[in-house]
Structure formats: structure tokens, C-alpha cells
Copies of this chain bind each other. A is one copy, B any other.
Amino acid sequence: MAQRKSPPRRRPAAAPRPRDAEQTRSEILHAARVLFATRGYANAGMREIAAAAGITPALVVRYFGSKRDLFIAAIESDIGLGPFLGPDRATVGRHIARYFFSKPMREADTLSILLHAAGEPEVCDLATELLAARVIQPLARWLGPPRAEARAALLLAIISGTWLFRQALPMRAFTGGPDTALASCMAAQIQHVVDGLPEA
């Protein structure tokens, strides 16, 4: 019905994918990030990733070597907490909370990928080291004394916990937008840690 003339002997139907290696590579990476973030390492299959990128699983291997190497490439991207670590310390809580509650859920962000790596025997150590080096350390340096590392760890725990329940265990209490009570509570909470956290 679509094509009338020209017997389609060697053209199955659709255009057979433009041969652009660079774009294909980035499409694979994007598909991998989406699936690693939503389903986790074990549940994201190579065939599934390849299908999402519109290609064949063999090609994924040719571009990235193995599933583990693909995962490594997928987390070689910034976590995104850096932009908040500026000189303005008074409103950073509100900014971070607004950022995380405005993000569309089920997005392919690095934090989700890393959180999903928990307990995966193949990639757990990778994720742990990356979080320590790229999040905890810069955050602690930015926070400064007292108890910089503990406060940085606590901040990461708050953000990760909230994000985990928004993304992967989507309970009703976490699914709202940036103007909900939870978002403002989270903002206050983060600000409280940034401001120094008086003794309990």
C-alpha cells in the first residue's frame, strides 16, 4: 500500500539506518543509560539495549567490548551536583530540592544508574568508588568543617533516598512536583545540613 512501483527486492521497507558510527555509538550509550537507570544492571539485557538503539546486540559488543565496559562508559558522566556547589550557601537547599523534584522521573541520570548498582557483584565496586570520588569528596571539600565528610555522606543519603523512592520505588508520597510539602521539607533538611547541623 505504501510503495506502488519498483519491486522491493532488496529494500525490506524502511530506510536501512544511516551509517553514522558516531551517532550510533551515542544512541547505544543513551539507550544503555536509560535501561541501566530504570531496570538496573542485571535486568537490562544487551538485546533490550540494542533494540532501544535500533540495532543488533552484536553491534553493541563491537562498539563497547562487553556489557561491563558499556556500563563503565555509561557512568563516565558527571553526577550533576557540581553546579550547586557555588558561593551561594544560603539557598542551596532550595535549589537542590527544586532541581531533583523538577527532573522528569525515569530519566537516564547517573545517580539512578549508580544506585541500581547496589549489590550487583560485577559493578558494585565501580559504583561505590565513583560515588566516593565524584560526590562525597568534592561535597565534603565544599561543605568544610565541622565533620565535613559525615555531613557530605548524610547529604548524599538524603538525596539518594529521596531520588530512589521517586524513581525506582515510586510511592505516592514521593511522586509530586517541586511545590509539594515533601520538596520543601527536603529543602529545609538539606539546608540544615549545609548550615552546619547543630549537635543532637
Contacts and interface: CB of A to CB of B under 8 A. Distances in A.
Contacts of A117: 169
A52 to B, nearest CB: 15
Contacts of A39: 119, 121
A147 to B, nearest CB: 4
A136 B171 contact: yes
Counting chain B CB atoms within 10 Å of each CB, the highest count among A132, A150, A151, A164 belongs to A150
Given A157-B158, A157-B161, A164-B160, A128 B171 contact: yes
A191 interface: yes
Interface string A132-168: 1000100000000001011111101111111011011
A60 interface: no
A172 B156 CA distance: 13
29 contacts: A39-B119, A39-B121, A40-B118, A40-B119, A40-B120, A42-B43, A93-B200, A117-B169, A124-B169, A127-B169, A128-B171, A131-B171, A132-B172, A132-B173, A147-B185, A149-B173, A150-B182, A150-B184, A152-B173, A153-B162, A153-B165, A153-B173, A154-B189, A156-B165, A157-B164, A157-B186, A161-B164, A185-B193, A189-B197
Given A154-B182, A157-B165, A185-B200, 12 more contacts: A38-B119, A40-B118, A119-B168, A128-B169, A147-B182, A150-B173, A153-B165, A153-B174, A157-B164, A158-B189, A161-B161, A189-B192
